[in-house]
Each structure stands twice: as structure tokens, then as C-alpha cells.
Structure 1
Amino acid sequence: MRRFLDRLYMLSGGLAALAILGICLLIAAQITFNVIARIGGAGLSYTIPSYADFAGYMLSTATFMALAYTLRAGGHIRVGLVVQRLPRRVRWGAEVGSLAVGALFATTATYYAGLLMAESWHYGDKSTGIVAIPTWMPQVFMVAGLALLAVAFVDTMIESLRAGGPILTDMGAE
């Protein structure tokens, strides 16, 4: 199970990286079209339809798909200056408590994001850009990212409980 979850976190991080790459390529292509139009005149003016919308969808995908990977890599912002000064047992209790609260919030967010996605599907909601995209499509990545974050919180909490001590402060120190 450990290998499966680690691969799943890595896959979600990879998807986030691909989304960032997609944003870079899309914006670079539009900038190239703008430069060509400036040099060659209005006859060579091209625009990628709804490029800003697509960049926004990819940014949302990158944001949500990176959450679980970042948690497991110890990359989320923590109050390290305060936490490192706590005694080990207190630090461990704070870690387990914060992981439980994080799991609760992530699970609740997943539930409501799932309801939003189901509503978008049910009503056939579409984006308002030049290219009308069903809104449930980008919302899938939001729901998947939040669900995976909830799994990562529970996974990390179980790992911390099994270790009998804090593990997150050790993850970020590597």
C-alpha cells in the first residue's frame, strides 16, 4: 500500500508539473502570435481562442493536484520556528492534531467540491469563453486533488502514529 500511495502522490505531482508546463507553452504561443502581429501587421494577428480560460483551468489543476505531493514532500508552509522549539511529545501531539484537522477540512472540501461538480454535470454548465467547456471537466481535477489531499493527511497521520513521534518536521529537514 505504501508504494501505491507514494506512486499516486508522485503521479499527482507530475500532473501538476505538466499543467504548469502547459500554461508556459500556451502563454508563450500567444505571446509569439502577439509579436508576429506587431512585426507583420494586423493581417498576421492570431489569438488562441479562450487561452486565458485554458490557462486558468491548468492553474487550478496544478494547484489542486500538487497538494498531496507537496504535503508528503514536506513542502507546505509550517510554523517551523515555533514547532521546533516544542518538546518532542508536544510536537508529536500538535502534528497528529493538525493532521486530523487537515484531514477533516480536506474531506469536507472534497465533499462540497464533489457536489459542485455533480451540479455542473447535472445542469450542463459551460464556461463563458469563446470555447465553451463543460465546467465539470476542470472541476474533476479539483475534486481529485482534494480527495488525494485528504488521503495524504490520513496516511501521514497514521504514519506519525505508527512512528510514535513527529515525522513532518523530519520530512522538511531532509
Structure 2
Amino acid sequence: MLRAFLDKLYDCCGYIAAVFMIGIAIAILAQILSRMRGITLDATEAAGLCLAASTFFGLAHTFRRGSHVRIDLIVGRLPQAVRHKVEIFNCLLGSVVVSFLGWHVAGLSIQSYQFNDVSPGLLAMPFWIPQTGVAAGIIVFAVALIDELVWLLRGGAPRYQAPDEVGLDRPVA
């Protein structure tokens, strides 16, 4: 039951990231179309806020799908027993760092809300709105890392590795 919930949470974050990517496209298109009509519209800040939300909401989803960039030059050459311990250490370290980051970004969002801090641009959006999206994305990513850490500690193989369907030594089929 928890597994199904977490998988749905990661997928939901992926969909939210996609919606914010569409928001970037809409903001840019609105700016282009308004300039073509001689109207000044500054949508750069809105596109930037959508970019931040899209980036951080997409972290957990892409991690679970094996889409994060991994440099496997050293870990891939280790014996299986050592490799498993290194993967556990990596997930533990990542969990601690990302949880620490999530805690502080959430605190920053709360502080921005308390002080009614707004962006300096033409949009003048309250900062807590995009900061909350960033914090939520980071926290779900921390949950995904902890989820994977527990899986590895129980003896499972890393689920975040993408299958090598296309290697450097094989042509694309």
C-alpha cells in the first residue's frame, strides 16, 4: 500500500513538473505574441518561477525512472559486494544532504510568508509561492532517496539505474 502511494506520488510530481513546463511555454509565447502586437509584456519572471517549480518537482520522478545523470566510471568497476555498500553510502549521503536542503528551503518559504516578501520584478509575486513549490519538490526527492536507501538496506538492487538499452558500443536498433 505504501509502495503504491509513493509510486503515485513520484508520478504525480512528474505530471506537475510537466504542467510547469507548459507554463514556461505559455509565458514565452504570450511574450512573443504581445511583442508582435506592439504590447510590452514581461513574462520572464513567470517563466523563471515555472522553471524552478518544474525542475524541483521533476527530481523524484526522474530519479525513480533512472533518468538522473550518473557517472559510473568507478562504481561500475567495483565488485558487487563493494558496489552495493557504495550505493548505500551514496543514498545515505544524498538523503541527508537533500533532507537538510528541504528543511531549510521550507523554512525560507515560511519566513517569506511571514514577512510578506515579494519579488522585485513587474509581477511582484509573493516569494513563498514559488519557494513552496521548490520545497515540496525537494522534500519529495528526499523521500525518494530515503525510499531507495531502505530498499538497498533490505538487500535490493538499485532501482534508480536506467536499463542499458543503448550502450556506447551498440548502435540504436
Q: TM-score, normalised by structure 1?
A: 0.88
The match for 1:134 among 126, 129, 148 is 126
Higher share of residues assigned helix:
1
- The Cα offsets for residues 61-91 of structure 1, whole Å up to 9 and x where unpaired, read as 0111011111111111112232221111111
Q: TM-score, normalised by structure 2?
A: 0.88
| Aligned-partner SS, 2:74 | helix
TM-superposed deviation, 1:168: 4.1
The match for 1:96 among 73, 78, 88 is 88
Alignment RMSD, CA only?
A: 1.5
Structure 2: how far apart are the matches of 1:51 and 1:79?
36
| Aligned-partner SS, 1:80 | coil
- The Cα offsets for residues 102-153 of structure 1, whole Å up to 9 and x where unpaired, read as 0000110011111111110111101112221110011001110111011000
- The Cα offsets for residues 33-58 of structure 1, whole Å up to 9 and x where unpaired, read as 22x23xxxxxxx1133x411100100
Larger radius of gyration: 1
| Percentage of matched positions with identical amino acids | 35
| Corresponding residue number in structure 1 for 2:13 | 12
Alignment check: 8 A CA contact 2:10 2:61 kept: yes
Q: How many residues are aligned here?
A: 163
Alignment check: 8 A CA contact 1:23 1:59 kept: yes
Stretches of structure 2 that go unaligned for 5 or more consecutive residues are 165-173
Paired residue type of 2:152: S
Stretches of structure 1 that go unaligned for 5 or more consecutive residues are 38-44
Matches for 1:11-160 after TM superposition, within 5 Å: 11-34=12-35, 36-37=36-37, 45-48=38-41, 50-160=42-152
Structure 1: how far apart are the matches of 2:158 and 2:123?
46
